[in-house]
C-alpha cells in the first residue's frame, strides 16, 4: 500500500534473555546489528513460536525442523535469516528508519537499565488506517460524560501538550512523557523508567480492514509497581481507540484541514498517506 513502511521492532533490551519473537520476525542480536529470522517456517509456513517470547533454539512443531539460536539449521537445509535491522542510538531496533536528532531519542538514550517485561496482543476487524489516524488525533481526547477516553481526558491538559513532527513521524509531549507515532505501523509511549512499543500488523497490506497488534512493555527495575500499573493503563486507552475506530463508517480518507490545532497531526498523517500511497 505504501512506498515506504519504516518500523520499530523492539528495544534492544528485549534480547538480553535470548531471541525475541515479534509479529513478523524472530530478532537475533548480531553485535552491531540485529539479524531478522523468519517467524514462519520456510518449509511450510507454520509459526515457529508465540509472539512476545524469548527463545533459544527454534523447533517447528509441524515437521520437527530445528535451528540454533544463531539461525543455523540443525536437521534441515532451510535458511532462517531473512534480513537485518539497525540498533538506533535510542536502543530501538529499526527497520528502514533513520533516527532524527530529537529529544525523544535523547530521552531513550538516558534509559540505561530498561528490561523487557511482557507483551500483550489483540485483533480487530476495523480499519488499521483509522486506527493509525486516531493515534495522531488529540482532539478526541476531550473531557465530558460521554467521551472516548473518560479517564485520560481528565488527566491531561491538552493546551499544555507540545506537538512536534518530522519526516514520517509525530510526537506529543505531555506532563508525564510523550507519545510517538512512526508512520504507518508503530506507536511508542515513554515516561521515565517506562517504555511501550505498539506494533500494528495489517492482515492484508492492500486492504485496510482487519489487523492485529502487539504491545511490548519495558521497565527500569527501580520503577515502582504503582507506576507500572499506571503506565499499563495505556492498554485500556488503546482498546478504547479500537472500539472507536470500529464504529467509524467506511474506509479511511485523509483530513485536509484541521479545525483545531489538536487535529494538526491528523493532517500531517493524511499528507504522508497521500505522498506515500502506491497509486
* pLDDT per residue as tens, the chain (279 positions): 898 899 999 999 999 999 999 999 999 999 999 999 999 999 999 999 999 999 999 999 999 999 999 999 999 999 999 999 999 999 999 999 999 999 999 999 999 999 999 999 999 999 999 999 999 999 888 777 788 887 766 666 777 899 999 999 999 998 889 999 999 999 999 999 999 999 999 999 899 999 999 999 999 999 999 999 999 988 898 999 999 999 999 999 999 999 999 999 999 999 999 999 997
Residue 18 CB: number of other CB atoms within 10 A?
17
Together in a domain, 40 and 115? no
Residue where one domain finishes, among candidates 19, 54, 87? 87
Together in a domain, 76 and 122? no
Together in a domain, 214 and 242? yes
C-alpha cell at 122: 489483540
pTM value? 0.94
Give the 3-state secondary structure percentages of the chain, helix then strand then coil, rounded to 5.
25, 35, 40
> For the chain, how many structural domains are there in total?
2
Residue in 241, 225, 224 with CA at minimum distance from that of residue 152 = 241
Tell me which residue range forms the domain holding 23.
7-87
Amino acid at each position: 500500500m505504501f512506498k515506504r513502511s519504516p518500523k520499530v521492532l523492539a528495544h534492544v533490551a528485549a534480547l538480553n534473555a535470548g531471541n525475541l519473537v515479534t509479529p513478523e520476525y524472530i530478532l537475533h542480536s548480531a553485535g552491531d546489528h540485529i539479524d531478522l529470522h523468519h517467524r514462519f517456517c520456510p518449509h511450510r509456513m507454520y509459526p515457529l513460536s508465540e509472539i512476545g517470547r524469548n527463545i533459544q533454539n527454534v523447533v517447528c512443531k509441524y515437521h520437527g525442523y530445528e535451528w540454533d539460536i544463531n539461525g543455523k539449521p540443525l536437521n534441515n537445509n532451510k535458511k532462517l535469516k531473512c534480513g537485518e535491522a539497525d540498533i538506533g542510538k535510542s536502543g530501538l531496533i529499526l527497520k528502514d528508519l533513520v533516527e532524527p536528532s530529537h529529544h525523544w531519542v535523547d530521552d531513550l538514550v538516558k534509559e540505561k537499565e530498561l528490561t523487557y517485561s511482557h507483551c500483550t496482543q489483540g485483533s480487530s476487524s476495523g480499519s488499521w488506517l483509522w486506527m493509525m489516524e486516531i493515534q495522531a488525533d488529540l482532539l478526541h481526547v476531550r473531557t465530558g460524560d460521554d467521551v472516548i477516553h473518560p479517564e485520560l481526558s481528565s488527566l491531561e491538559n491538552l493546551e499544555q501538550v507540545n506537538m512536534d513532527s518530522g519526516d514520517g513521524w509525530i510526537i506529543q509531549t505531555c506532563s508525564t512523557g510523550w507519545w510517538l507515532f512512526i508512520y504507518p505501523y508503530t506507536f511508542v509511549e515513554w515516561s521515565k523508567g517506562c517504555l511501550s512499543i505498539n506494533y500494528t500488523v495489517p492482515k492484508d497490506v492492500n486492504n485496510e480492514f482487519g489487523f492485529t497488534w502487539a504491545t511490548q512493555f519495558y521497565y527500569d527495575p527501580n520503577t515502582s509497581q504503582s507506576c507500572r500499573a499506571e503506565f499499563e493503563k495505556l492498554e485500556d486507552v488503546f482498546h478504547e481507540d479500537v472500539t472507536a475506530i470500529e464504529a467509524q463508517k467506511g474506509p479511511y480518507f485523509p483530513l485536509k484541514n484541521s479545525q483545531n490545532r489538536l487535529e494538526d497531526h491528523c493532517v500531517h498523517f493524511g499528507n504522508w498517506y497521500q505522498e506515500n500511497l502506491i497509486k
